[in-house]
């Protein structure tokens, strides 16, 4: 187990591990405890009551963060012809067909999102070993396999993020930067939690939102009470 630094230990000492907060309270605490010299990302982690080994309980999709991510998202688009031109015009950093596929095969993975037109997916699918483990494989469910690549690029540049359950049923989503004000972070967090609720599999039984934690990149986790996430706002 890695040893945490002095600042992390000092911040952890200010967090009651048994306490559960409303979302605004948790975000305020995360902002207060952030101590890194860079603008830390605020991460949301949610443990869902699903069995991701079952195909019908895999939770995956995208959500638009109303306040954006605060991060410059680098996008690779597998496309040719007019679609490639649209992708470049929309601001994609890497655009190509066979040439881009060859670059990725050679180890070029300097991007955060990969988008493909449907006609190139048979070839892009062969990049599974490189893209799959990093969660970068284009997928129709997340809108990253599309004929409208220009729109897809614009949406991801504007704050659209992907989410998916890992093997333990956890979902990790960035919801902004510590420099965001509390209202902006709360709006992003609410958007993700609302989307996860909408994506609840019909076959999921029992409590769905089992554990919710928010933290900054270098800070300790702060728990949110699933039963009273936004109760302070709605009172």
Residue 230: pLDDT band (50, 70, 90) is confident
Q: 95-104 contacts: CB < 8 A, separation 24 or more?
A: 97/123, 98/123, 100/76, 101/126, 101/127, 104/76, 104/130, 104/131
Q: Is residue 3 part of a domain?
A: no
Arithmetic mean of pLDDT, 72-81: 96
CATH value at residue 214: 3.30.190.20
Q: Same domain, yes or no, for 134 and 80?
A: yes
Closest-CA residue to 160 (of 132, 196, 198, 188):
188
Q: Same domain, yes or no, for 191 and 145?
A: no
Q: Which of 129, 157, 185 is the last residue of a domain?
A: 157
Q: Is residue 221 part of a domain?
A: yes
Q: Is residue 220 part of a domain?
A: yes
Q: Is residue 9 part of a domain?
A: no
Indicate if the pLDDT at residue 191 is higher than 80.
Answer: yes
With a CB cutoff of 8 Å and minimum separation 6, the contacts of 114 are: 75, 76, 77, 78, 124, 131, 136, 137, 138, 144
What sign has the CA pseudo-torsion 4, 162, 129, 95? negative
Q: What is the pLDDT of residues 89-134, one digit of tens each?
A: 999 999 999 999 999 999 999 999 999 999 999 999 999 999 998 8
Number of domains in the chain: 2
Q: Which of 98, 133, 157 is the last residue of a domain?
A: 157
Other CB atoms within 10 A of residue 216 CB: 22
Q: Is residue 91 part of a domain?
A: yes
Q: Which of 157, 176, 197 is the last residue of a domain?
A: 157
Residue 71: pLDDT band (50, 70, 90) is confident
Q: What is the pLDDT of residues 110-120, one digit of tens each?
A: 999 999 999 99
HEC string of 142-194?
Answer: HCCECCCHHHHHHHHHCCEEEEECCCCCEEEEEEEECCCCHHHHHHHHHHHHH
Q: Is residue 6 part of a domain?
A: no
Residue 9: pLDDT band (50, 70, 90) is low
3-state secondary structure at position 55: helix
CA distance 230 to 233: 5
Q: The domain containing residue 185 runs over which residues?
A: 15-68+160-234
């Amino acid at each position: 187990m890695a040893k945490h630094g002095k600042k992390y230990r000092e911040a952890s000492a200010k967090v009651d591990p048994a306490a559960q907060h409303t979302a605004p309270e948790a975000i305020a605490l995360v902002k207060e405890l952030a101590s890194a010299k860079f603008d830390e990302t605020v991460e949301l982690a949610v443990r869902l009551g699903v069995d991701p080994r079952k195909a019908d309980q895999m939770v995956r999709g995208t959500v638009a963060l109303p306040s954006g991510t605060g991060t410059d998202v680098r996008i690779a688009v597998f496309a040719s012809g007019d679609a490639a031109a649209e992708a470049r015009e929309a601001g994609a950093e890497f655009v190509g067909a066979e040439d881009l596929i060859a670059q990725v095969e050679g180890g070029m993975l300097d991007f955060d999102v990969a988008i493909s037109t449907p006609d190139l997916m048979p070839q892009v699918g062969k990049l599974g070993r490189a893209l799959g483990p990093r969660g970068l494989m284009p997928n129709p469910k997340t809108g990253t396999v599309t004929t409208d690549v220009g729109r897809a690029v614009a949406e991801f540049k504007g704050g659209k993020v992907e989410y998916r359950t890992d093997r333990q049923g956890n979902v990790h989503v960035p919801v902004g930067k510590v420099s965001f004000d509390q209202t902006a972070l709360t709006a992003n967090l609410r958007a993700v939690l609302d989307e996860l609720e909408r994506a609840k599999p019909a076959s999921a039984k029992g409590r769905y939102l089992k554990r919710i934690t928010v933290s900054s990149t270098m800070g300790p986790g702060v728990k949110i009470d699933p039963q009273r996430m936004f109760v302070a706002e709605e009172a």
